Amino acid sequence: FDRLMALDDPPTAVFALADEMAFGALQRARELGLDVPGDVSIIGVAALPALMYFLSVAFWVRIEAKRRS
């Protein structure tokens, strides 16, 4: 996350593949003094639905997996 935010043109959004990664990015953004979602949006895959309620400043995507036979 730090390397992304240190780029000359940092991203305006970060997509995390796991809830824990999104939570870590959100914590680090706050430590760096970044406004979420003003400076950077954080998008996570909501495998842990409870996190959606505690971290309402981030955007969560729920993906339903379908089994293929």
What digits encode the pLDDT tens for the residues 8-25? 999 999 988 887 888 889
Among residues 41, 12, 8, 7, the alpha carbon closest in space to that of 26 is found at 41
The number of C-alpha atoms within 13 Å of 38 and in the hemisphere containing its C-beta is 4
What digits encode the pLDDT tens for the residues 31-61? 999 998 889 988 877 666 666 555 555 555 6
What is the model's pLDDT at position 8?
Answer: 96
Q: Both tokens of residue 25?
A: 């990015």
Among residues 11, 18, 5, 12, the alpha carbon closest in space to that of 60 is found at 18
Residue 62 scores a pLDDT above 90: no
**H-helix segments, 1-69:** 2-5, 19-31, 49-54
Q: Both tokens of residue 56?
A: 């309402």
What is the model's pLDDT at position 43?
Answer: 81
